[in-house]
Structure 1
Amino acid sequence: MRLASAEVTAAAGEKIFKQYCTSCHKAAPFDAKLVGPALKDVEKRRSEEWLIKWIRNNAQLRASGDKDAIAIWTEYGKNEMPSFASFSDDEIKSILAYIANPPVAAAPVAGQPGGATQGAPSAGSSVWLYLILGVLLIIFVMLVRANRTLKRMTIAKDGHELEEEKPWSKRLTSAKAWALYGLILVFLAGWTITDSAIRLGHSKNYTPPQPIAFPHDLHAGTLQINCLYCHACAEKSKVAGIPAVSTCMNCHKGVQQGETEAGTAEIQKIYAAYENNRPIQWVKIHNLPDHVYFNHSQHVTVGKIQCQTCHGPVEKMKTMYQFASLSMGWCLNCHRQTEVNFQGNEYYTMYTELHEKVKQDTSYAVTEAMVGGTGCQKCHY
């Protein structure tokens, strides 16, 4: 998320701000307080030189006797703002540029969908199968009936004597009818068993109760806290990581009450865990089989895959649930459809034939599947 070179842009500042600052400051339009002050027009209230010193190491600035720094620290309950000593001047200036000129959200075009990934559960394939079979059965009965009627009309036209038509009670219990019932039963049983076996271990829409009601729609949506602030391991590790109580307290030292009494009660559970020095026993939602290898950093850092691709519209989920099936077929389809950063990654230089195609046609898309992303050994070794 950090700047690769000395470059001051609001876009670069937005990335840094969303990763490091949204836990304590309201995001654009920056007109409300959170743990820290509202940042709207901060570049007009303070000089750039002062802001760089404050952001990089506010404790050092206070220790120097700066009255403004001490006043802000006192006003906000003496909550310690993290220091960002590793930030360059250009990175801090980029943050200030973003605050001064935040991007304006484009209005949705009338008649077009908003683009959010829908997380509502869809009808199961088995239900659709039974509906289709029901329709086919009705059509089959109608065709049999029409065929029988046409035959009787032909016989009558030729002057032959018509056989007495058997009642439906006898037709439905004839040997041929029972043979047909048996075939249908075997087909349905086979389909149901196969479909259930394929779905064995899938947990789509799994929504376990958690020890603390954590509303992702508030934190990731309304407050726009970057996913990586709480799940910091996702950039550098195989696992995304579960935030420690101390991570929660970074914000909740200053936020002690919720919007409702129920919200305040949930926040008090965080304090109870913190004061008793015990971890919060979160229930894991997304589970993969032991024989499957999945690396978050490979997808987040290298592949630049958004969290919502696998986890759904988290910023709209009041209660977190498993959005996707995470089945092998689901992962393979993603690898078949996802384009890779082929030209900017030296790892892919071995694929000379594909490079030649890209050189000849810059619009040529190289997907993960084309560089071995559907091989068994990629995920099972």
Structure 2
Amino acid sequence: MNKQGSPISALSLKLPTSNRGTATYRLAASRIFPARLQSPLNRVAFSAAHVVADPLADVDPWLTVAVDWDRTIAFREHIWDLGLGVAEAMDTAQRGMGLDWPTSLELITRSVNAARARNALVFSGAGTDHLAVDAAKTLDDVIHAYEEQIEAIEKVGGRIILMASRALAKLGRNADDYAHVYHRVLSQVREPVIIHWLGDMFDPALANYWGADDLDAAMDTAVAVINANAAKVDGVKVSLLDKQREIDMRRRLDTSVRMYTGDDFNYAELIAGDAQGFSHALLGIFDAIAPAASFALSRLAAGDQASFHDVLGPTVPLSRHIFKAPTRFYKTGVVFMAYLNGHQDHFTMVGGQESARSTLHLAELFRLADKAGLFADPELATRRMQTMLAVRGFEA
């Protein structure tokens, strides 16, 4: 990997500070990462991908979804060019926070078709979100909701990520309830699925998932369900932001079941692994850092751990900032990175979620992204940062 020939220290801008002042920030020398995968990977790596809103649609954004389909699919092609898979219609795409099931199915259909044209990897989220939580009265209601979405996704040729269910979190009282639902649903899938365990820091409605408020008991249930259905499970994605629990869980899984890290705080060390194993990846942060992630993973596959950590390590502070509490608002930072890097021409989100993070938060995101060398075009990123600041009333 090469750095640009000379530092761009002359490039600077004024950024707001926490004391309501301003400070000049001078950009570092940016790194150049390949736009395409350079060599094979030895980890399966998915990026959960965001959707690009249509900012000119005549809709009420809090009520009606408007997607720019061309830009949304173009972003997925960017991910695929880098050798990463796409985890489609997940929480990164604002599933459950602006993206409804009918629009999710259209997104999945378009994404599966685009992936088929280039033999790319895509798995898609099947959940129960078309079933209002208050309307779910029995576990059979949850099962039927899962079945409906699975059938629709498989009908268009999609592979399944079995998402956590808010309705099941409401109705499931114990390990037996969860085992009943998952056994029934998994017995019917055509191909092995990825099971998604999303912690309540990502979605408060998923508190006490697996029928217990104690995470040790919850993990016992999850492991038992997964291992009992190992032939139907490609892997499990764990998003608990607790690296030791992920390590403990992956050591307990059937050897045929992959662990996909969803830990946006500790992914570098979990992917690198230890003497007893490693995690694959299914990460929302890979949306924002895809070129760096691809290059780092190629270096890991080549046996160059030093370069892997040199590239991926500096992205971790940015990820921890983007995913800071309230973690569910991380999508705002992911989309802002796409705007800064030229993948879309605006900072408008489905559901008006561009307002979910403060100006100070986005200013710190800019600093951390620059320090990690993640701006493909630093001049463009700087101009767009200044534009956003002006819209929010900061002109220095």
TM-score, length of structure 1 as denominator length: 0.22
TM-score, length of structure 2 as denominator length: 0.21
In our comparison, the structure showing a higher alpha carbon Rg is 1
